[in-house]
Amino acid sequence: MTTATVVTAAMLAIGDELLSGRTKDKNIGQLAEVLTLAGIDLKEVRIVADDEEAIVEALNALRARYTYVFTSGGIGPTHDDITADAISKAFGLPCVHDDKAMELLGAMYERRGLEFTDARKRMARMPEGAAHIPNPVSTAPGFIVGNVHVMAGVPSVFEAMLDAVVPTLATGSKMLSESVPCPHGEGDIGGPLGDIQKAHPDTSIGSYPRFSENRFSTEIVVRGRTTEAVAAAAADVRQMIAALDRKKAG
């Protein structure tokens, strides 16, 4: 058996609006899906307010612990967009108007016949030396500093930035999964499914209850890093379901 490479990640979603319920986050689920497909394990997510101390503390905890950190939100032009300052502070770097970003933004506003206001110039600010993440939607770049990828909160922009970032990441062995629909409720499968998990320690077996038309059923998901491991555990799950079918019919 080959050793699987594990690459881990965390997300830090930033914004008062996520915590007030005004905005329902869409980026966490998007990032989770994209990273899973890329073979990167999203291990933790935090949501914090537009509060410098909260951002710095969460970022420093996460960037020390995981291979990559992805942030969303707080990189627009208004006073409540403090992510660039907070990230700079967390890294102990000056937060500067990046030359290349000033050029990109200046040219874009000139094309559009709009004044390049001080507020708009805020969007060129990032920790000194940070690399850009291109923004094909609205120009203002995200940025990369250390293992931290700083991206926009607007879902269409977040998604576009993520698409640009993913090919640059070290990816791990892809986590494979197989779903087995199960007509029995969790209360019926809990015992035998726990035994199957114990017998297949190289997989992670999850069971997700469904409640519809007044009865419970389950979706069982077997995850693992090799086709063989997943197939072997999934076969045992199917045997378990067949045995429960017979028991109910008998």
- Provide, rounded to whole angstroms, the least separation between the CB of residue 89 and a copy of itself: 18
Alpha helices in 14-139 (DSSP H): 16-20, 27-38, 52-65, 83-91, 99-111, 118-122
Give every CB contact of residue 45 below 8 A, 6+ residues apart in sequence. 10, 11, 12, 13, 28
Closer to a copy of itself by Cβ: residue 129 or 201: 201
Closer to a copy of itself by Cβ: residue 61 or 232: 61
Give every CB contact of residue 78 below 8 A, 6+ residues apart in sequence. 119, 122
- Provide, rounded to whole angstroms, the least separation between the CB of residue 87 and a copy of itself: 18
- Provide, rounded to whole angstroms, the least separation between the CB of residue 117 and a copy of itself: 6
- Provide, rounded to whole angstroms, the least separation between the CB of residue 42 and a copy of itself: 5
Closer to a copy of itself by Cβ: residue 3 or 214: 214
Give every CB contact of residue 29 below 8 A, 6+ residues apart in sequence. none
Distances (CA, A) of 232 to 37, 142, 197, 206, 224: 22, 43, 11, 15, 11
Amino acid, single-letter form, for residue 78: T
Backbone φ, ψ for residue 157 (5° rounding): -75, -40
Q: What is the dihedral of CA 228, 230, 232, 238, to 10 degrees?
A: -150
Residues that bind a copy of itself (CB under 8 A): 16-25, 28-36, 41-50, 54, 58, 76-80, 109, 114-115, 117-120, 122-123, 137-138, 154, 156, 175, 177, 186-191, 193-194, 197, 204-209, 211, 216, 221, 223
Closer to a copy of itself by Cβ: residue 33 or 245: 33
Closer to a copy of itself by Cβ: residue 76 or 127: 76
- Provide, rounded to whole angstroms, the least separation between the CB of residue 164 and a copy of itself: 18
